[in-house]
Structure 1
Amino acid sequence: MGKSLSACGLAILVDDNDSQIDRTKDIQDALDAPIPQACIDSRGLLNTTQKEIFTCIMQHIVEGKPGAFFVDGPGGTGKTFLYNALYAEIRLMNKIVLPTATSGIGAANIPSGRTAHSRFKIPMDSDASLACSVSKQSSLAALIKETTLIIWDEASMANKQNLESLDLLLQDICDSDVIFGGKVIVFGGDFRQVLPVVPNKTIREAVEASVVSSYIWQHLRRFRLTENLRAREDPSFCQFLLALGNGELQTMESDFVELPPQIVQTFQPDADPIDELLESSFPELGSGALDPQIFSRRAVLTPINDDVDTINSFMIERFLGQAISYTSYDSVLDDSGSVYPTEFLNKLCPGGMSPHNLVLKENCPVILLRNLLPSSGLCNGTRLICKRGTSFLSSSALQ
């Protein structure tokens, strides 16, 4: 209309001094997230190497200097323990930490952990675009801008394009051309756990070439943890793990590796392998003195979903208590020709979804499949104990 905003009294829409306007829900949830006592206690239990890394990272944070670090070490050397100490120290300063990991299992080991793809909206198809789906004016962007420390565990297992996407995102949000937007970011992982696919190179050279771009790698300050704290009471097993990861147990590039007899469970030829496996892993299942906490310390791993369903069904049958079944409601929209009968839909079990017939008992373990309340730790992959069965499950029935 040929007039300016000042003519309508709208010259200044937002007072620059009003910091509360920027206090989004994501920021508030991050600041309100609980700090586990175990993480607070871990700060005083760091060994010499961990304390050196901790001091170096905290110095960058206190002085406000940018920094990108990579903590390299085999499983059990205390990388997660170090992350938890950093998380507690910064949260006690009333600052924000974004703990992430490449996998959901790794993210569950850190307070308020999320997968990196979920937290930063990293594209699944990196060949199409490296841009993360985060608007610069969004609440998530405001959270990332206010973040003091970013942790990415198992970064050695991520594609190098994922790290490049994070670099582009942080530079865009922070309006900085410094690597990772000038943020302090800690990567961690073990290159021994990544299969090399580049010929005529050592394992480390092959992995570094495939998962970390040279631009990012040259800006990372690298630390190495070597003492296996998790299995230091079993030094022979520690030596076996290191020799396996370093390729010292094989004479050819593709060769079999013999496992030590003390970590092998042998079965009788005519015995049911699942029954034998569960009997050796969870001997308490058939007794009346079952402690639900054992499921936080033990697990049966298998790469095939069908085997997972079979083992779950077998275990829930042996679990003490009354079983309650929950069935899904399956239907197809606009199926005028009845091409997909209900019986067929009931047999489908896509990855990341529960089976059609979900059988639960009191004190049995369950895994959350949705990010219900990340600020309280209710994220995808969180393990819970079912305490009560009703016509439906609510968060109050789980712990």
Structure 2
Amino acid sequence: MSKRQNIESLDHLLRDLCNPEQIFGGKIVVFGGDFRQTLPILPRKSQREVLEASLFSSHLWPKLTKFSLSENLRARDDPEFARFLLALCNGELQTKEYENIELPDGLVRVLDSDDPNPISGLAALAFPELDLGTFDPDIFTNRAILTPLNDDVDAINDALIDKFPGKAVTYTSHDSMLDDTCAVYPAEFINKLNPGGMSPHKLILKENCPVILIRNLQPSLGLCNGTRLICKRFLPNTIECVIMTGQHKGDCVLIPRIKLLASSLTNYPFRFQRNRFPLK
């Protein structure tokens, strides 16, 4: 979701170029999204500041024509969950601004709190086929383990790739500084950094393991940010994969090494780039 300042800047630009009396200069501009779920991402900001940056708080909002979709296609096969999610978004499950929400029994599975390795129990619950050694890679299109923190994601990935059958292939990145003229930060230190939106320095993969693309490479061929793939063959500078979902499902593609830049939103006092595969 874009910040309202960006959209208001577009409005000013189109008014200067086209018609100053009409919103967006008289041009048709279409916005999409669910304002109850998707808000602008503002790191280290309060809830009030996030709401203030949303399009809903803009002076343009009353002038926009709103259209509401009537059917959630992704929730068509699970109407009970769709009703619960809609009630949650509409605030119908709470009477106060801050209140605990009781989840349906079908959404909750409590693991043993005394388990010394909870990730193993979680993996066995989500992907019991991994313990059998033989499975269909399509299981990764219907199930996933979700967690809000990147550190937890990496820990779960490491645990699952160890259980995955086959021989492991390790790729390491080449990291370089962009503005460290005094060579203050050694390469070993840069290798340990793993900011959001960038794959780690060391990437461990196995044949038939799932990966996700984190950059738009060629959208016309289905290679977009968020595309899920299955690894098939490992070469020094390319990885052969098969697309798992979407209209290009089953297509064989080659993923090259590219240069990834750390986001400007990070708190690092320097900038660096990482030459590696855009996969996690």
TM-score by length of 1: 0.51
1:366 is the counterpart of 2:211: yes
The structure with more helix, counted as a fraction of residues: 1
Distance 1:320 1:170, change over 3 A: farther
User: How big is each residue's C-alpha offset from its partner over 1:101-126, in whole Å with a ceiling of 9 and x where there is no partner?
Assistant: x3xxxxxxxxxxxxxxxxxxxxxxxx
Matched residues, number: 235
Deviation for aligned residue 1:197: 5.1
- The equivalent of 2:83 in structure 1 is 239
Deviation for aligned residue 1:336: 8.6
Give the Cα separation in 1 of the matches to 2:159 and 2:59. Answer: 50
Distance 1:209 1:325, change over 3 A: closer
- The equivalent of 1:160 in structure 2 is 4
Distance 1:188 1:304, change over 3 A: same
1:252 is the counterpart of 2:96: yes
1:186 is the counterpart of 2:30: yes
1:320 is the counterpart of 2:165: yes
1:379 is the counterpart of 2:257: no
Match of 1:265 among 109, 127, 142: 109
Alignment map for 1:168-247 (pairs within 5 Å): 168-171=12-15, 175-177=18-20, 178-193=22-37, 210-212=54-56, 215-247=59-91
Deviation for aligned residue 1:228: 4.3
Give the Cα separation in 2 of the matches to 1:221 and 1:336. Answer: 52
Amino acid in the other structure paired with 1:257: I
CA RMSD of aligned residues (A): 3.4
For CA contacts below 8 A with separation 6 or more, give which structure has more relative contact order.
1
**Unpaired stretches in structure 1, ≥5 consecutive residues:** 1-101, 103-157, 199-205
Compare 286-295 and 259-268 and name the one that shifted more.
286-295
Deviation for aligned residue 1:363: 1.9
8 Å contact kept, 2:216–2:223 = yes
Distance 1:233 1:334, change over 3 A: closer
- The equivalent of 2:262 in structure 1 is none
Identity fraction in percent: 58
Distance 1:170 1:311, change over 3 A: farther
- The equivalent of 1:346 in structure 2 is 191
Match of 1:330 among 146, 158, 175: 175
Larger Rg: 1
Give the Cα separation in 2 of the matches to 1:226 and 1:304. Answer: 33
Deviation for aligned residue 1:286: 3.1
Secondary structure in 2 matching 1:238: helix
1:283 is the counterpart of 2:107: no
Distance 1:170 1:378, change over 3 A: farther
TM-score by length of 2: 0.69
**Unpaired stretches in structure 2, ≥5 consecutive residues:** 40-45, 241-252, 256-280
Give the Cα separation in 2 of the matches to 1:391 and 1:209. Answer: 44
Deviation for aligned residue 1:304: 0.9
